[in-house]
Amino acid sequence: MAIEIKENVPLASLTTFGIGGGAKYLTEVKTDVELREAIIWARDRITSFHILSGGSNVLIPDEGLRGLVIRIVSDSYVFNGLNLIADAGCNLTMLIREAGRRGLGGWESLAGIPGSIGGAIRGNAGAFGSELKDYTFAVRAYNHETGELRTFVNEACHFAYRSSYFKQHFEWIILNVEVALREIGPQESAEGHHAA
C-alpha cells in the first residue's frame, strides 16, 4: 500500500480557522489511485471518511473527527492551448498566478480566495461578481459508492450560488478540473486583484 495512515493527528493547523480537535486517522493523497486506496482502507475498517483540501471552509468540532480524514494534496497542472487542466488539490490563487505568467486569465477577480480549485468548484466560489462556473469547462470526478469515473461538462455541474452538483452529491469526489481561459495583457495580471 502506497498511502501512509497517521493516527491521532491534530487538524487545527490544517484549517484556516485553526480550531477544533484532531482526526482519528489521516492520510494525504496525491493521485486518483491513492484516493481509491484511502477509501478502501476506510471501508475495510468499516469507518467513515471525510474529504479535506485547503481547509478554508471547514470547522472541525472540538471532539475531533472519528474515521479517516483524506486530505487531497494533488498538485499537478498542465496548460493546453487556452485551457488549464489542474488537479483538485491545486491552490486556486497559485493557478491564477501561473496562468497569468503565461498570458492567460480572465478569472483574476478570484485570486485571493483561499483553498484548492476542487473546493472552489464544489462551492462555486466567487468574488466581485464572477464565480468558478464562469470558467469551468469540465470536471472529472470519482463516485466513491459505485467506483464510476465521470467527466461533467459545465452544465452537468449544476452550478448555483455557492453550490454545485458535487455539493449536493457528496458521493462524488472532484479529481481534476479544466478551466477555459483567454489571453490577457500584463495589466490584467492577478497581482492587482485580491478577493475577500
Ligand X SMILES: Cc1cc2nc3c(=O)[nH]c(=O)nc-3n(C[C@H](O)[C@H](O)[C@H](O)COP(=O)(O)OP(=O)(O)OC[C@H]3O[C@@H](n4cnc5c(N)ncnc54)[C@H](O)[C@@H]3O)c2cc1C
**DSSP class of 59:** -
- At closest approach, how far in Å is the CB of 166 from ligand X? 5
Considering the rule CB under 6 A, would residue 16 count as an interface residue with ligand X?
yes
Residues in the chain: 196
Q: DSSP class of residue 171?
A: T
Order across the sheet with 149-153: list the strands. Answer: 77-80, 83-87, 172-180, 136-143, 149-153
When asked if residue 166 is in the footprint of ligand X (CB under 6 A), the reply is yes
Residue 126 interacts with ligand X (CB under 6 A)?
Answer: yes
Is residue 91 a contact partner of residue 115, using CB atoms and an 8 Å limit? yes
**At closest approach, how far in Å is the CB of 27 from ligand X?**
14
Site string for ligand X, 32-51 (x = CB under 6 A): -------------------x
- Stretch (H or E) spanning 149: strand 149-153
How many Å apart are CA 28 and CA 30, to the nearest integer?
7
Task: Using CB under 6 A, pick the residue from 21, 64, 67, 114 that binds ligand X.
Answer: 114
Q: Closest approach of Cβ 25 to ligand X, in Å?
A: 16
Question: Per CB under 6 A, does 139 bind ligand X?
Answer: no
Cell reading at 110 = 478570484
Sole binder of ligand X in the list 113, 157, 179, 181 (CB under 6 A): 113
List residues near ligand X by CB under 6 A. Answer: 16, 51-58, 72, 88, 113-116, 118-120, 122-123, 125-127, 162, 166, 173-174, 195-196
